[in-house]
Amino acid sequence: MTIARRWQALSISARTFLLVVAALVACNTACLLLLDVNLGPPPKPADFHAGDRRPPPPPEGRGPPGGGDPTLRGAGPPDPGPGSHVPPRGALRLPIILAIELLAIVPLAWLFAATLSAPLRRFADIAGAAGRDGVPLPVPREGPPEILAAIDGFNSMQARLHRSVQERTQMVGAIAHDLRTPLTRLAFRLDDLEGPLGDKMRADIDEMRVMIAAALDFIRDRSSRGRVQRLDFLSLVERVVEEQSDLGHDVTLGNRVSMTIEGVPLDLRRAVANLIDNAVKYGNRARLKLEERDGECRLEVEDDGPGIPAALHSQVFDPFFRIEGSRNRNTGGIGLGLATVRAIVSEHGGTISLGNVVGGGLKVTVALPLSAD
């Protein structure tokens, strides 16, 4: 990884911390070096002879006070020899000053970086939790002007999206409800039509009624959600598995790991029940496994069916999408099972993915965030 990519991978607080420390250390080091140059030792007087290290003799008839050899008294400290080295005046104190500065700068720089990034962290946390309860959660307006502008834009976007989803949901519900009347009239008019053609048309009308009822149930469930609460996901899955087993289905649960999540119990029970129902209906049996991985609660559901082609893994989550030959109308499905599961999982901040099992079968993996203790 290059330096530029490593720098981009750092958080804003880490970047701010490193920049502040580097700037302060560079400025203080430059100031110390300049002061050391200006306050260095004064220049030595020129010698009488370039090669003579002794001071020039005093004028004739005048000697140093107290007599004696003028070369030994009054000459000051001896000059170091040519092989000796005297360190500069600030060479020893500069590292000590820098170490003291770092001890004082690092806590202040970290406090400054944490204060700067705190509004962004709160913004990210609330934005990640938005929509989980079915209603928009406005982000509190806190922080500098740049953060306030981003918060205002996010709150406006969230309100517009919520209003648009509500309007489309109401429109689809109204259309589905109004379609019941013409279908009822068609059914009455077909009572006088006998033969294979009449039977086929009546079967189509019955299927349309089932689809309309399922669409209304789907919209009703998504518009009226329950209360989010902490729950043990293992206990919830065990209850659903027990209910499915009592109905005579081949359902097993392995790797039982107790994990706490936050969610709507009724919605999560419906999601798990839909996954088991699909596995039993199209794959004869359902094998469930719970595990904790990468800070998430993972539920895997495998069956022994024909699986789903990889090219269709994203399309099977679309409402009313069915795969001919394996998941068709003869089995009773109308294509809302996986769509419902994905909607519930997304509302809980999780993900869902599909994968074909080696040797035959489909594996559905649901990952939900663990509850923060």
Q: How do the domains of the chain map onto residue ranges?
A: 3-74+88-127, 130-167, 230-369
pLDDT of residue 35: 65
- pLDDT of 328 over the 50 cut: no
- If one compares 307 and 132, the residue with the highest pLDDT of the two is 307
- pLDDT of 117 over the 60 cut: yes
Please choose, from the candidates 278, 297, 301, the residue with its C-alpha nearest in 3D space to the C-alpha of residue 289: 301
Name which of 98-102, 272-276, 350-354 the model is least confident about. Answer: 98-102
How far, CA to CA in Å, does 164 sit from each of 157, 160, 167, 168, 339?
11, 6, 5, 6, 20
211 contact partners, CB below 8 Å, separation of at least 6: 320, 334
- pLDDT of 225 over the 90 cut: no
* DSSP characters over 75-120: S-SPPPPTT-----TTTTHHHHHHHHHHHHHHHHHHHHHHHHHHHH
Question: How far is 89 from 291, CA to CA, in rounded Å?
Answer: 65
Kind plus residue range of the DSSP H or E element containing 127:
helix 93-129
Name which of 114-118, 208-212, 236-240, 341-345 the model is least confident about. Answer: 114-118
| Both tokens assigned to 149 | 């502008």
Beta strand 260-263 with 229-232 is antiparallel
Q: Three-state DSSP class for 368?
A: strand
Mean pLDDT estimate for the chain: 75
- pLDDT of 73 over the 80 cut: no
* 301-323 per-position pLDDT tens digit: 999 888 888 888 888 888 777 77
Kind plus residue range of the DSSP H or E element containing 353:
strand 351-356
pLDDT of residue 161: 81
pLDDT of residue 120: 76
pLDDT of residue 229: 87
Question: How far is 371 from 357, CA to CA, in rounded Å?
Answer: 30
Name which of 23-37, 39-53, 172-186 the model is least confident about. Answer: 39-53
Q: Could you tell me if 216 and 176 are in contact, meaning their C-beta atoms sit under 8 angstroms apart?
A: yes
Say how many C-beta atoms besides its own lie within 10 A of residue 307's C-beta: 19
Residue 325 pLDDT class (50, 70, 90 cuts)? very low
pLDDT of residue 72: 47
pLDDT of residue 299: 94
| Both tokens assigned to 37 | 């140059």
| Both tokens assigned to 45 | 């007087």
Domain 230-369's class?
alpha beta
Q: Is the pTM of this model over 0.85?
A: no
- If one compares 349 and 366, the residue with the highest pLDDT of the two is 366
Residue 290 pLDDT class (50, 70, 90 cuts)? very high
Q: Highest-confidence range of 53-67, 183-197, 349-363, by mean pLDDT?
A: 349-363
Q: Three-state DSSP class for 369?
A: strand
Residue 59 pLDDT class (50, 70, 90 cuts)? low
- If one compares 325 and 308, the residue with the highest pLDDT of the two is 308
- If one compares 182 and 289, the residue with the highest pLDDT of the two is 289
330 contact partners, CB below 8 Å, separation of at least 6: none
Helix, strand, coil percent content, the chain, rounded in steps of 5 = 55, 10, 35
Q: Highest-confidence range of 100-104, 224-228, 241-245, by mean pLDDT?
A: 241-245
Q: Highest-confidence range of 56-60, 140-144, 324-328, by mean pLDDT?
A: 140-144
- pLDDT of 253 over the 60 cut: yes
Q: Highest-confidence range of 32-36, 57-61, 323-327, by mean pLDDT?
A: 32-36
Q: Could you tell me if 270 and 325 are in contact, meaning their C-beta atoms sit under 8 angstroms apart?
A: no
One-letter amino acid of 208: M
* DSSP characters over 203-268: HHHHHHHHHHHHHHHHHHHHHS----EEEEHHHHHHHHHHHHHHTT--EEEES----EEEE-HHHH
Whose tokens are 């789907």? That residue is 218
Question: How far is 257 from 291, CA to CA, in rounded Å?
Answer: 6
State the SS3 of 263-314: ECHHHHHHHHHHHHHHHHHHHCCEEEEEEEECCEEEEEEECCCCCCCHHHCC
- pLDDT of 116 over the 60 cut: yes
Please choose, from the candidates 364, 368, 365, 366, the residue with its C-alpha nearest in 3D space to the C-alpha of residue 279: 364
Please choose, from the candidates 346, 331, 342, 320, the residue with its C-alpha nearest in 3D space to the C-alpha of residue 275: 342
Give the largest Cα separation in the chain, rounded. Answer: 154
Beta strand 286-293 with 296-302 is antiparallel
Name which of 28-42, 52-66, 100-114, 316-330 the model is least confident about. Answer: 52-66
| Both tokens assigned to 231 | 């729950």
Name which of 28-32, 90-94, 260-264, 276-280 the model is least confident about. Answer: 90-94
